[in-house]
Amino acid sequence: MEYKKLSSFSLLCIASLMAFRLQVISAHLSKEMNSRPPLTTHVLDISSGVPAANMSVSLYQFTNGKWDLLKESITNTDGRCQDLTSRGSIPSGIYKLQFQTQQYFERRNTSSFFPFVEVVFNLNSQQEHYHVPLLLSPYGYSTYRGS
C-alpha cells in the first residue's frame, strides 16, 4: 500500500489538533480529580468476581477516646461509596470504615465468618485523596490504600 506524503501545512494542522485535544483531556481529568470526595471505598466480592453492591458502609472518626459516627452509606452497583465525605477537605485524624459483610452474604444465601469488617486508618493530609478498597470473600478479606 502506498502512502501519500503530507504537506508541512497538513502536519502543522494535525499537530495543532492533537495539542488542543490534549489540553481538553487534561482539563477534564484535572477537573474530575479535583471534584472527587476526599475519601472513597470500593468493595469487590472475590468469591463471585463481582462488585459487592448494596452493602452497608459506615464512616467513623476517633475523637476524645471514642468512635463518632459520621456517615452511613450503601455501595452502588459498582460496589463503590463516593458519598462518605463531602467534596472539599476532611480533617486529619483516625477514621474507620465498617462494612456489614454478614448482611451482604446472607442476601446471597452464603454463610460467612466475619459479621462485619472494620478498617482503621490515618488521614494525615487534607489535600490528598484517600481510597480504601476491600477485597472480600465469605472467609477472608484484604485491604490497602488505593488511589
Q: Give pTM, 2 decimals.
A: 0.76
Looking at residue 37, what is its pLDDT? 85
Q: Phi, psi (5° rounding) for residue 61?
A: -120, 140
The domains of the chain are located at 8-36, 38-143
Enumerate the known binding-site residues.
42, 80, 144
State the cell numbers at 22.
490534549
CATH of 38-143 among 2.60.40.420, 3.90.1150.10, 2.60.40.180, 2.60.120.10: 2.60.40.180
Enumerate the known binding-site residues for substrate.
42, 80, 144
Average pLDDT over residues 70-80: 96
DSSP for 122-133? EE--TTS-EEEE
Q: Does the pLDDT of residue 27 top 50, yes or no? A: yes
- In angstroms, the Cα distances linking 119 to 8, 94, 95, 147 are 59, 11, 8, 16
